[in-house]
Structure 1
Amino acid sequence: MILFYEALEFAGDGMYAEGLAESVSRMAMEGIMLVASMALSCVFTALQLRHVRKHPEALPAMSVTVLVVLAVGYMIPLVLNLKDTYSRDSRREYFVKLTGGEMLELNALMLRASTVLALVLQLRLLQLALSSWRPADQAGSKREAPSPSPSDADADRSTLWVCLPLYVLGAVVVWIVHTSDGHRGLSAPPGQGLVDDLAAYAGLVLDGFLLPQVIRNSLSGSRVRALSPWFYAGVAAIRTAPHAYNAFRMWSYVPSLRPSLAYAGPRDDLFGAGWDMAVPCGAALLAALLFLQQRLGGAFLCGSKRRRAGEYEMVSTPSS
């Protein structure tokens, strides 16, 4: 008896020496880019703090919603990294990196330190913005900043009531899409959990961090330069840079079994061919609108000029 078996083809997904070296170098480069982005966030926030010290009238005109969104955006990576640190696989990976003597752990340490610093600076900016709403004679201190007008307070509350339902509606949509049949994650990798999907959606909210300020300026008609150009343009560039890198990565790098996702990862934002074009265009549009609002007035799109509180209009009286 002669047994005959058909030829079987076997293909392995292992990484060769060249592919492994390329993957390690790419991970190191992405780690450096991540640390540089967070360090630039600290610089731009510090420049905004300098801006409000030189221009005290900018404090009441800043949108508190913008500052809260940015502060929460700095806290999310810290919470997710703390969760990953105490998992079993992460402890094993940490031990391998530590004993291997690689630079990846140093990049992770620098990233956490810069993230904490950015969060502290952002909370300081938020504290200054909230303290500007207190009466001038409170706490017995002399304040150079003018007292906020009732229209400013109404515009800030109205901005919150406009943005909050939008954010909640987006989170509900993410939950519905996640629980639908055949869902493979909002950012393409299969098996992504609901927490990761919500974290990616939070990255999308951060991409549009200028939306509350644009809405507030439109409601109040303010032309005060509340945000420094370094701040809103710099942070917008930081938020759009991962999408440009993701498009370059998809075009130039060969997909591997374990791709490097240290920078522009699926838990940081929504990525894909459509998102990589829509997010930079949306961020540039919001930055351009804010630039025009701070020079032409918040209601320049409506073609009308709102009168600020305390201003009067000359009316003609009929002659007898």
Structure 2
Amino acid sequence: MVLILDTLMCVFSGRQVFHLKKRPEMVNFISVLMMLILTLGHMVPLVLNTRYEQNGPISSNELLKVNEVTARIMTLVAFVLQSRLLQLTWIAKKNQWIHEIRTLFICLPMYIIGGLAMLLVNRNNTNNTIASQPFESQSQSQRSVWIDLRSYAGLTVDGFLFPQLTLHIFQNSKGNALSCSFYIGTTFVRLLPHVYDLYMGQKYMSHQFDRLYIYANPRAQLYSPSWDIVIVCGGLVFAVIVFLQQCFGGRFMLPKRFQEHVEYEMVPVTSDE
């Protein structure tokens, strides 16, 4: 299943590259921050080099190893394609960074606040664990923080469309900057592990499916069935909003007076004296 998802990511990223070759004028309406998040989302699993556990027959372990190597190759291909998309988007901005900077000013504080909230929740949970288990080691507490940080990073990638819909609002852009197969397909790949988690139940999640979350551990304290529902609903809402923005304009959901961006020019006034 992991191999299938990695292969789909290669297909979706490749479709977006060809889409931009056909419509290069739309590159300027793509968020650099979104492409950066997706690129890091492919890079981190390669750097972390997650290994499978040998707890079965040798033949089964060899098959798992082959699948893992193949999945890593597909992840590397997806990373290269995503890096190409990031490069195209970066070059297209040139001197038109004002909207991207505004998008960063909106998204970055929200990411920071979310990270701080996650650390606060982790600290409270760790203190409760230490109170109930006094012999809890400091290394295990640090490991819990690291797992939650990875999980929050995965949560950020799950909401990869947030910078894009924010940029659409600032630019009030209209048109297919993103191909439907790219943002809908990527949303499907990111949300499928959470749907699977809800269907099977967290207690039945096997270690071999951890990589479905890329680097978001389903057993981390950040994740729960309620969170899975919120993430799935949020991802679908983001995809629907981006679809409507590309059809009707970036500010279609705002009142009419905010949908048109009017710029006033300073005109010199001459006095009759």
> For this structure pair, what is the TM-score category when the shorter chain's length is used for normalisation?
0.7 to 0.9
TM-score computed with the length of structure 2 as normaliser: 0.80
1: CA distance, partners of 2:245 / 2:128: 44
Cα gap change, 1:200 to 1:193, in 2 (>3 Å): same
1:167 and 1:98 map into 2 onto residues whose CA distance is: 43
Question: How much does 1:225 deviate?
Answer: 1.7
Name the amino acid aligned to 1:203. Answer: G
Structure 1 residues 170 and 54: alpha-carbon distance in aligned structure 2, compared to 1, 3 A threshold: same
* 2:230 alignment counterpart: 278
- Please say if 1:298 is aligned against 2:250: yes
For residues 121-164 of structure 1, the C-alpha deviation after alignment (integer angstroms, 9 at most, x for no partner) is: 10011111111133xxxxxxxxxxxxx7x5xx321110011111
Q: Percent identity?
A: 33
TM-score, with length taken from structure 1: 0.69
Opposite residue 67 of structure 2, the aligned amino acid is N
Shift of 1:113: 0.7
Number of paired residues? 245
1:59 aligns with 2:27: yes
2:271 corresponds in structure 1 to: none
**Which structure 1 residue ranges, 5 or more long, are not aligned?**
1-32, 135-147, 185-189, 313-320
The CA deviation string for residues 162-190 of structure 1, in whole angstroms up to 9 with x for no partner, is 11111111111222222221259xxxxx9
Q: Give the drift of 1:41.
A: 0.5
Cα distance change, pair 128–95 in 1 and its aligned pair in 2 (3 A): same
Distance 1:209 1:111 in 2: 22
The residue type paired with residue 92 of structure 2 is S
The C-alpha deviation readout for 1:102-136, integer Å capped at 9, x for no partner, is 311011101111111111110011111111133xx
Matched residues in 1 for 2:22 and 2:239: separation? 22
Contact 1:97–1:105 (8 Å) recurs in 2 = no
Q: What are the superposed Cα offsets for residues 181-210 of structure 1, whole Å, 9 maximum, x if unpaired?
A: 1259xxxxx965212111101111111110
User: How far did residue 264 of structure 1 move?
Assistant: 4.5
- Name the SS of the counterpart of 1:300 in structure 2: coil
Instruction: Give distance in 2, aligned partners of 1:161 and 1:219.
Output: 12
- Are the structure 2 counterparts of residues 299 and 196 from structure 1 closer, same or farther at C-alpha, using a change threshold of 3 Å? same
Give 1 or 2: higher helix fraction.
2
Matched, 1:260 2:206: yes
Q: Distance in 1 between matches of 2:231 and 2:56?
A: 37
Partner residue of 2:194? Answer: 243
Deviation at 1:53, TM superposition (A): 0.6
Q: Distance in 2 between matches of 1:297 and 1:100?
A: 52
Tell me the CA shift for residue 100 of structure 1.
6.4
Of 45, 50, 58, the match for 2:13 = 45
* Cα distance in 2, alignment partners of residues 248 and 264 from structure 1: 15
Letter paired with 1:249: M
The answer as to 2:92 corresponding to 1:128 is no
- Give how far 1:79 is off: 2.0
In structure 2, how many angstroms separate the alpha carbons of the residues matched to 1:215 and 1:301? 12
Shift of 1:303: 2.7
Distance 1:193 1:44, change over 3 A: same
RMSD between aligned alpha carbons? 2.8
The match for 1:6 is none
Distance (whole Å) between structure 1 residues aligned to residue 46 and residue 16 of structure 2: 23
User: Which residue pairs with 1:182 in the alignment?
Assistant: 128
Q: Where does structure 1 differ by over 4 angstroms across 4 or more consecutive aligned residues?
A: 93-101, 264-267
Alignment correspondent of 2:148: 197
Please give the alpha-carbon distance, in whole angstroms, between the structure 1 residues aligned to 2:181 and 2:111. 26
**Residue 176 and residue 96 in structure 1: after superposition, are their counterparts in 2 closer, same or farther (change >3 A)?**
same
Counterpart Cα distance in 1 of 2:47 and 2:129: 25
In the TM superposition, residue 66 of structure 1 has moved relative to its aligned partner by 0.4
Q: Distance in 2 between matches of 1:115 and 1:63?
A: 22
- 1:223 match: 174
**2:155, 2:228 → 1: CA distance?**
11
The question of whether the paired residues in 2 share the 8 Å contact of 1:76 and 1:199 is answered with no
Distance 1:179 1:158 in 2: 32
